Amino acid sequence: MRISDMLNQALEYLLIKDIKKDIFMSDEEILQDAHQRLKEARNTFANVDPDFIVYAIYNLRAAEERYNLLIKQTKNK
């Protein structure tokens, strides 16, 4: 699998599926889910095969950005 394919999958996983899922979840559940995904991304980054490091970096960065955005939105409510 090419790096670009993996990045597209990561973005789809983090964005498109989240939009559909978020419709049926409370704000607290969405935040908990984002935190869990962030922990998983950190774990993946820490244990990734060197061939997949670019994927792990993008995945971690996306998870961090999503979590931080949700924290900010929650504080503003």
Question: Per residue of the chain (77 residues), what is the pLDDT tens digit?
Answer: 567 777 666 666 666 555 556 567 788 888 898 999 999 999 999 999 999 999 899 899 999 999 999 899 888 87
The DSSP code for 49 is -
List phi, psi (to 5°) of 23.
Answer: -60, -30
H/E element holding 55? helix 53-76
Q: What pLDDT is recorded for position 21?
A: 60
pLDDT score recorded for residue 23: 64
pLDDT at position 28, please? Answer: 86
